[in-house]
Amino acid sequence: MLLKMLLGFLCGVLALAAENDTAQQDPPPLLLVSFDGFRADYLQRFPMPNLKLLYSQGVLVEQLTNVFITKTFPNHYSLVTGLYAESHGILGICISNMYDPVSHKYFHVNNDTDPMWWSEAQPLWLTALDHGYKTAAVMWPGSDVTIRNRTATHFFPYNPAVTFRQRLGNITDWIQGNGTEQGVKFAALYWEEPDRSGHIFGPDNNTAMGEALKEVDDNIGLLVSELKRTGLWGRVNVLITSDHGMAQCSAERLIRLDDCLPSENYTLVDLSPVTALIPHKDPEATVALLNKCHKHLTAYLKKRIPDRLHYRNNERVQPVILIADEGWTIVQRGNKLPRLGDHGYDNSLPSMHPFMAATGPSFRQGYRLSSLHSVDLYPLMCHLLSVTAQPNNGTLTKARCLLTAEKCWDVSLMVGLVIGVLLVLTTLTVLFRFMSSRHRPGPRPFQRLQVDDDDDDDPLLE
């Protein structure tokens, strides 16, 4: 009887293992979608019926702690590499510049295809090629660059005039494949909103942001209906996320650099909300001067940039950076506010955080996590694709909880349990000690009969 049960159990385990093995040999395709500048709390502020339906059938991570600086290019590259900006080398840029002191090259958004900028890391659409998969990346930052001599199997040069429907249509075709062409296993899709509207109108404008997010939600509705129409729904894992949030700016919150330091005394590389500059004279003195400039501005010498920002160990980090407080805008001169909404600020600010929602055969249903690091999505995606991850700064520990096939130990519950057990044991020990010490002094009638009872007398234990 016992043997039978044991055998049954073993067979079950083996069957499960085999099942998982097949799943690992041919994992479902993965579609990664980014809606630029989707601040996490938009989900609470606006209806978003299609997105809410999607994660009610899947998982939601309410906030992602993204990487510093909280701009578009660094964060999109972190999503597909799992690296902090200092480790992947894309350190700046949304509307601004980056300078490489080794090659003396400047990076411009309209001319970012020099592989040099991107080749310090290898994005997932290339790593997945090594596993024999076809991949696609549409408008994702870096996708049209020949990185380490390769591109995704399919990609488009950046063109904001290509509609969401067109980008999506190409991707669903590529995932399906055809008689001659094997289907794509990993596809990344980028869309410009709600970032664009957030910059123009500011995130606090409910009317304008309501409209922008209605459009984003309509696109999510289109995504679901297209996946259903092509028979891919339920057969692909879909991961929807973003790069950063958005803060409200104001003409009343301007920091003028000309008030503190003459512009001929430095070379400006990037302006706001994180200013990068190269002082022409003594950097220490420049930083001391700039730190007295404005109470909402902090200046750092490169070597003193806080560890937690992971924004120091790279040649491309400039000698001096200035970080504005949330909602403050750094300008060189004048009273003109360039944008009503901006991002790039400290990545510990909730207003800078995006979210993540996912659904598909590998994800649990109706599950929520309050937070995750954005660099954790890379090891999660590698796991979903059974691709060996490149060295990265993320971890699967918490992200594992999002998956159906995984055992997930709630860390706080485990810690609570362990502490509880320890408490009970300690109490029992103390009680036992107390009792036995109370009993010991008094003469006990049968003392001589208790052979070897007293451990304290055992010489081996001394």
Ligand X SMILES: *[C@@H]1O[C@H](CO)[C@@H](O)[C@H](O)[C@H]1NC(C)=O
Which of Zn ion, ligand X, none does 181 bind, CB closer than 5 to 8 A by kind?
ligand X
Which of Zn ion, ligand X, none does 265 bind, CB closer than 5 to 8 A by kind?
ligand X
**CA dist., res. 120 & res. 53, Å (int):** 39
Task: State in angstroms the smallest separation of the CB of 113 from ligand X.
Answer: 6
Task: State in angstroms the smallest separation of the CB of 68 from ligand X.
Answer: 12
Task: State in angstroms the smallest separation of the CB of 259 from Zn ion.
Answer: 27
Q: 274 is written with which tokens?
A: 């994180």
Cβ nearer to Zn ion, comparing 276 with 389: 276
Residue numbers 96-125 binding Zn ion by CB under 5 A: none
**CA dist., res. 359 & res. 35, Å (int):** 16
Beta strands per DSSP E along 139-236 = 154-156, 184-191
Stretch that binds ligand X, among 4-12, 83-91, 214-222, 364-372 (CB under 6 A): 83-91
Which of Zn ion, ligand X, none does 94 bind, CB closer than 5 to 8 A by kind?
Zn ion
Cβ nearer to Zn ion, comparing 86 with 195: 195
Q: 270 is written with which tokens?
A: 């990037």
Using an 8 Å Cβ cutoff, are 344 and 70 in contact?
yes
Stretch that binds ligand X, among 95-103, 167-175, 251-259, 406-414 (CB under 6 A): 167-175
**For residue 313, which of 324, 323, 305 has the smallest C-alpha distance?**
305
Total residues contacting ligand X by CB under 6 A comes to 38
**CA dist., res. 134 & res. 89, Å (int):** 26
- 311 half-sphere exposure, CB direction, 13 A CA radius: 30
The alpha carbon of residue 364 and the mean position of all alpha carbons in its chain are separated, in whole angstroms, by 19
Q: 333 is written with which tokens?
A: 């001169």
Q: Does the protein bind ligand X through residue 263 (CB under 6 A)?
A: no
Using an 8 Å Cβ cutoff, are 125 and 182 in contact?
no
Cβ nearer to ligand X, comparing 83 with 355: 83
Name the residue whose CB lies closest to ligand X. Answer: 169
Cβ nearer to ligand X, comparing 41 with 62: 41
Q: 190 is written with which tokens?
A: 């980028």
Q: Does the protein bind ligand X through residue 259 (CB under 6 A)?
A: no
Which of ligand X, Zn ion, none does 207 bind, CB closer than 5 to 8 A by kind?
ligand X
**CA dist., res. 270 & res. 281, Å (int):** 19
Q: Is 114 helix (H, G, I), strand (E, B) or coil?
A: coil
**CA dist., res. 98 & res. 92, Å (int):** 6
**Choice from 86, 144, 195, 346 touching Zn ion (CB under 5 A):** 195
Task: State in angstroms the smallest separation of the CB of 131 from ligand X.
Answer: 17
DSSP track, 351-407: GG---EEEESTTB-SSEEEEEEEGGGHHHHHHHHHTPPPPS-S--STTGGGGBTTS-
Q: Does the protein bind ligand X through residue 388 (CB under 6 A)?
A: no
Among this protein's residues, is 298 annotated catalytic?
Answer: no
Catalytic residue (choose from 65, 70, 72, 230): 72
**Choice from 90, 98, 126, 208 touching ligand X (CB under 6 A):** 208
Instruction: Give the interface with ligand X as residue ranges (CB under 6 A).
Output: 19-20, 22-23, 83-84, 87, 108, 111, 113-114, 148-149, 156, 162, 166, 169-170, 173-174, 178-181, 201, 205, 207-208, 261-262, 265, 281, 289, 310, 391-393, 405
Catalytic residues, by residue number, are: 72
